[in-house]
Amino acid sequence: MSQIIWDVMSKKNDIEVRTLELALSQTRNRCLTLKDKITSVDSYIQEYSDILMPVDGKSISIDQQRNTIAFIGQLVDAKEKLCGAYDEFSLKSEALRAEILGVHMQGMKYRKIAELQSNEAHIELEAQERKLDDELFLAKFASRKHTL
C-alpha cells in the first residue's frame, strides 16, 4: 500500500481515538456524578437513621417512626439503583479503555507497516541506484577497453 493510504488509515485511527476518549471522559464524569449522589443518599440515610435513635432521650411517635423507616427504605432503594448505574458506567468505562488501547495498538501497527514499507522502498531505490551506477561503470569500463 502507498504512504497516502497509511496516512489516511492513521488519521482515521486518530479520529476514532479522540471519539473514544471523549466518550470515556463523559462516562467518567457520569461516574463522578453518580458517586456524589450515592454519597448524598448515604448521608440522608444516616441522618434519618439518627432520627430513629435520638441521643438526647427524646422519643418519637410510632407514626413518625413508621414514616421515617419507609423513607429510609426508599432512600436505600434509590441508593441501590444509583449503585447499579454506577457499576454499569464503571464497566462501560473499562470497556472504553480497552477499546482505546486496541485502537492505539492498531494505529501502532499501521505506523509500523508504513515505516517498513517506506524502508523497503528506500532499500529498493538504493538497490536500483547501485545497479544503475554499476551499469554505468561497466559501460564506461567497456568503452575504455575498446578505446585502448
The dihedral built from the CA positions of residue 46, 48, 49 and 53, taken in this order, carries a sign that is positive
Helix pair 3-52, 62-147: axis angle to 10 deg: 160
Question: Cβ distance 100 to 21 under 8 Å?
Answer: yes
Question: Cβ distance 8 to 74 under 8 Å?
Answer: no
Indicate the pTM of the whole model.
0.69
Question: Cβ distance 75 to 45 under 8 Å?
Answer: yes
pLDDT score recorded for residue 99: 94
Question: Cβ distance 27 to 93 under 8 Å?
Answer: yes
66-123 tens-digit pLDDT? 999 999 999 999 999 999 999 999 999 999 999 999 998 988 888 888 788 888 888 9
Rounded Cα distance, 111 and 9, in Å: 9
Q: What count of other Cβ atoms lies within 10 Å of the Cβ of residue 78?
A: 15
Question: Cβ distance 111 to 10 under 8 Å?
Answer: yes
17-60 tens-digit pLDDT? 999 999 999 999 999 999 999 999 999 999 999 888 877 767 78
